[in-house]
Amino acid sequence: MTKRRYITRRDFLWKGVSATLAAPLVINSRAFGANHRITLAGIGMGGQGRGDLGACLGFSEVQVVAVCDVVSSHCNTAKAMVDRRYGNGDCKAYNDFRDVIARDDIDAVLIGTPDHWHAIIAIEALTHGKDVYCEKPETLTVREGRAMVETARRYGRVFSGGSQRVWGDYNWFHRMVRGGAIGEARQAWVNVGGPSGPCYLPPVPTPAEVDWDLWLGPAPWRPFHPTLIRGGFRPYRDYSGGGMTDWGCHGFGGALFTLGLHETGPVEIIPPDGNDHPRLTYVFANGVRVYHGGGWGGILSFRGTEGEIPRRDKESKRETPPDIYIPNYRGRGGIFGDFVHCVQTRERPFRDIEIAHRTATHCHLGNIAYWLKRPLRWDPVKEEIIGDTEASRWLDRPKREPWCLS
């Protein structure tokens, strides 16, 4: 597993950054050879998907050519957004993502569907040679994440996860901790929602505009309920990991990046037991502990050998972080700009799928410990639960026919 390397401010300033980490890009994208714009399709055009689509439309390097959703009103609204932006009616609207991905003239897809669809659509797109930007939580299960990484690598595609907050919102923490403001970081608290659970919503007649079978896709069958298609699917295990993966991908993603643990995983996950472990506790091989809930800040709190952040006193809460360079987005325009840049240069994005998968796995393991109410031991290299075959069953879920990975 990756060893934690504690980087002091001086280390950072004197030794510079690791050679594998690129500097901020300042080069105009036209220099990358091409007047060719990235042709992009948006799949999953509910609220979040359309939000992402709006960001895409702000990039002159990108031409959105298609949108897709199983809810026709979502699809029509997205098409109208695109057509309004370009002043024409060229954007094509689809119900079935397979029809979009089969188009040879599309370079990249933006996936904004509910979580249970992410892996299948992403892998299908990668297999067709497309680059992928996928909303977080990128995965519903651990095995999905590994399959996404393997497929992205197999085809040499660019695959960015979608947690914009890891850098965008939490870079103050990264600078403070990596800059040595609390000495050696030993503990982190991440305040996000809890795990998902079973869904017993009552049946409601399916409206004509909804392709319910396709919305469910790989998930176990159940009757329609409008909450699920209006973004209310997150509390339910068949479609999402709940708050643990929703804001968890942001919060844990931020904590793990700050601690330099974003390319590995915990070795032990202990659910709350009312005694020694009042909170879900992740233990890493280097002794660092990450807790679900608690802390004293908002979403993130850190404690190290020489202090903690956020500081408790009001004035220090506004403390200016050390002026150090931490590799982050390339290109212009946040996480999506990073993706656009990497599609052009074939570099790895900031939220490369390996890192996104590691964060999501961290969240999934927490969920499994919550669901089964027992501690888990985890091998972050083999990505296996140690000595608990029943718990291992939760690392994957057979998908409803005909859907599968790869």
Partner 1 sequence: MKLWIAMPLIAMLTVTSAAAAESEMLEQLDQALKEVVTFEYGKDSGPLVRVEQMVVELATDASLREAAEQLIIQALGSASTRDAKSFLCRQLRTIGTALCVPHLEKLLTDPQLSHMARYALGRIEDPAAVAALHRALNKTSGKLQVGIINSLANRRCRKAMPDIANLLRSSDSSVAEASARALGRIGGTEAVKALQAARHGASKSLGLRIDNALLICAEQFLADRRTNEATRIYAKFYSPEQPMHLRLAGLRGLVVAQGPEAIPAIIQAIKDPDLKLRKGAIGFMTMVEAKDATKAFATILPSLPPDAQVLVLRALGSRGDTAAARAVTAAARSEHESVRLAALEALGSVGNATAALLLAQTAATASDSEKKVARASLERLSNEDVNAILILSINSGDDRTRVEIIRAVAARGVTQTAGELLKAAGDDNESVRREAIRALGVLVDVSELDTLVELAMKPKDLKDLAAFEQATEAVFRRVRSKSLQAAPVLAALATAPTDVKPMLVRLLGRPATPEALEAVRAALKDPNAEVRDAAVRTLSDWPDATPAEELLALARTSTNRTHKVLALRGYVRMAGMSKDPTAMYVRAMELAERPDDKKLVLGGLGSADSAQALELVERYLKDNQLQAEAALATVQIANRLRQNDATRAKTALKNVVATTKDAGIRQQAQDVINEMEQYEGYILVWLATGPYAEKGKESRAIFNTKFPPEKPDAEGVKWERLTRGVGSWDINLEAAFGGKDHCAAYLRTRIWSPAQQDVRLELGSDDAVKAWLNGKLVHTNYTNRSLGPRQDLMNVKLQKGWNGLCLKVVDHEGGWAFCCRVRRPDGGVLEALKVEAK
Provide the 10 A C-beta neighbour count for residue 85.
15
C-alpha to C-alpha distance for 139 and 244, rounded to whole angstroms: 12
CB of 193: closest distance to partner 1 in angstroms?
Answer: 5
CB of 255: closest distance to partner 1 in angstroms?
Answer: 16
83/388 with CB nearer partner 1: 388
84/154 with CB nearer partner 1: 154
CB of 177: closest distance to partner 1 in angstroms?
Answer: 17
Give DSSP secondary structure letters for 25-63. P-S-GGGGT--PPEEEEEE--SHHHHHHHHHHHT-TTEE
131/286 with CB nearer partner 1: 131
The region, left, alpha or beta by phi > 0 then psi within -120 to 50, assigned to residue 124 is: alpha
- The CA distances from residue 184 to 10, 42, 176, 328, in Å, are 13, 43, 11, 22
CB of 163: closest distance to partner 1 in angstroms?
Answer: 18
- For residues 335 and 329, is the Cβ–Cβ distance under 8 A? yes
CB of 178: closest distance to partner 1 in angstroms?
Answer: 14
184/396 with CB nearer partner 1: 396
Please name the amino acid found at residue 87: G
113/191 with CB nearer partner 1: 191
Backbone angles phi, psi at 154, to 5 degrees: -55, -40
CB of 28: closest distance to partner 1 in angstroms?
Answer: 7
Instruction: Extract the tokens encoding 22.
Output: 């690129």
- The CA distances from residue 72 to 44, 55, 67, 99, 282, in Å, are 11, 21, 11, 15, 42
143/186 with CB nearer partner 1: 143
383/396 with CB nearer partner 1: 396
CB of 166: closest distance to partner 1 in angstroms?
Answer: 20
For residue 79, give every residue at least 6 positions away whose Cβ sits within 8 Å of its Cβ, in sequence order, or none.
Answer: 67, 91, 92, 93
